[in-house]
Amino acid sequence: MKQTAYLLDPETTIFRAVELPAGISFKPIYDLIGCRLIEVVRFDERHSLFADEEGLHDGLTAFTIFEGYPQPLAGKLVLVGGDGSEPYHSPLLSLEDASAHFKCCRPVLDPVFA
């Protein structure tokens, strides 16, 4: 049996449903995000958001503002159902409702002429 998760890619600004194998392994989430270290952010009392812990770095071309979170999140984000105290499951809210909490941004550089 497969689970659904929502994947947000700030580079393309595409937020879509993806399938994850059922179980307690976090490997599929690491693979989706493409990182070595994940950070778990509480989305609400029934959902968790996974982000790249080391995503904020020099040369960043896109990031995401998550409503109510104090700093930007870099890299791809994965939203799942569950608060982390049990194996994750499919989100309990629609993709459209979840997407209202995110804003994808691209840094703008102000050139300096000497």
Q: Quick one: what percent of the chain has pLDDT higher than 90?
A: 55
Q: Which of the two residues, 5 and 112, has the higher pLDDT score?
A: 5
Q: What is the pLDDT of residues 41-62, one digit of tens each?
A: 999 999 999 999 887 777 778 8
**What pLDDT shows up at residue 47?**
96
pLDDT band of 36, cuts 50, 70, 90: confident
Are 48 and 37 within 8 A, CB to CB? no
Are 88 and 82 within 8 A, CB to CB? yes
d(CA 82, CA 77) in angstroms, rounded, equals 15
Are 76 and 65 within 8 A, CB to CB? no
What's this model's pTM, rounded to 2 decimal places? 0.87
Q: How confident is the prediction for the chain on average, in pLDDT?
A: 88
